[in-house]
């Protein structure tokens, strides 16, 4: 498995010739769409009608449910978004299983998970979680709450300040977010290549450079 980061919440997960593109809303933030016609688009919010990349991907997933694409299993778990009322569920947590690896992508969710959600999430190898805050997405404290609940082995932060993107609300810098999380990066890489045997039982935070 390979994981790349493109800014905001947009990441690509590639496994055995299948590439998933998660939350490619880069055009709305002032950059080019990175989705290609061979890709599978995943969106962590059901409110995706105006996202340009949806017209490009060969398959789009923007709802809870179970999906099989190539050799990847995808489970969309409904969740309260960070701005939802308590009864609403407009967010989607994605559980992506490729080989022996279980990757969780949270998107902009409310950081308190219930027992049913935790049971569906299960054991987590990699957590991809936003940290930018200011009401636009999860902040560092919310990310820590999720980390404590699901206990991932690898943490990848996203959606921190990026001067090349036009965020409608300023985001925390990565440095400030990590300080507020009380964590530091064990490694910074441009592309994360993972096999199940490569992951230590010790929790580690890895920063992905923007591709």
Return the HEC string of the chain. Answer: CEEEECCCCCEEEEECCEEEEECCCHHHHCCCCCCCCCCEEECCECCCCCCHHHHCCCEEECCCEEEEECCEEEEEEEECECCCCCCCCCEEEEEEEECCEEEEECCCECCCCCHHHHHHHCCCCEEEEECCCCCCCCCHHHHHHHHHHHCCCEEEEECCCCCCCCCCCCCCCHHHHHHHHCCCCCEEECCEECCHHHCCCCCEEEEECEC
The residues near 17 (Cβ < 8 Å, ≥ 6 apart) are 70
Looking at per-residue pLDDT, the higher value among 108 and 102 belongs to 102
- Hey, what CATH class is 2-208 in? alpha beta
- Say what percent of the chain tops pLDDT 90: 84
Query: Confidence class of residue 47 from pLDDT cuts 50, 70 and 90?
Result: low
Q: Is the pLDDT of residue 50 over 90?
A: no
State pTM to two decimals: 0.95
Domain parsing of the chain, residue ranges: 2-208
Query: Confidence class of residue 85 from pLDDT cuts 50, 70 and 90?
Result: low
Q: How many CB atoms lie under 10 A from the CB of residue 172?
A: 20
CA–CA separation, 6 vs 20, rounded Å?
13
pLDDT value at residue 37: 97
CA–CA separation, 125 vs 197, rounded Å?
11
> What would the pLDDT profile of 171-199 be if each residue is shown by its tens digit?
999 999 999 999 999 999 999 999 877 78
């Amino acid at each position: 498995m390979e994981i790349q980061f493109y800014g905001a919440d947009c990441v690509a997960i590639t496994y055995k010739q299948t590439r998933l593109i998660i939350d490619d809303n880069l055009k709305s933030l002032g950059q080019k769409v990175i989705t290609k016609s061979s890709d599978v688009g995943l969106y962590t919010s059901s409110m995706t009608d105006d996202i340009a990349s949806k017209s490009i991907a060969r398959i789009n997933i923007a709802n809870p449910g179970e999906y099989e694409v190539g050799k990847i299993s995808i489970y969309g778990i409904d969740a309260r978004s960070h701005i939802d009322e308590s009864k609403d569920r407009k967010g989607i947590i994605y559980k992506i299983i490729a080989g022996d690896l279980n990757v969780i992508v949270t998107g902009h969710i409310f950081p308190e998970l219930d027992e049913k959600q935790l049971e569906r999430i299960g054991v987590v190898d990699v957590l991809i979680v936003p940290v930018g805050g200011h009401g636009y997405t999860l902040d560092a404290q919310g990310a820590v709450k999720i980390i404590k609940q699901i206990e991932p082995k690898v943490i990848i932060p996203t959606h921190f300040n990026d001067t090349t993107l036009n965020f409608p609300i300023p985001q925390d810098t990565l440095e400030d977010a990590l300080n507020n999380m009380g964590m530091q990066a064990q490694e910074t890489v441009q592309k994360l290549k993972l096999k199940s045997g490569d992951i230590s039982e010790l929790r580690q935070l890895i920063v992905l450079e923007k591709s």
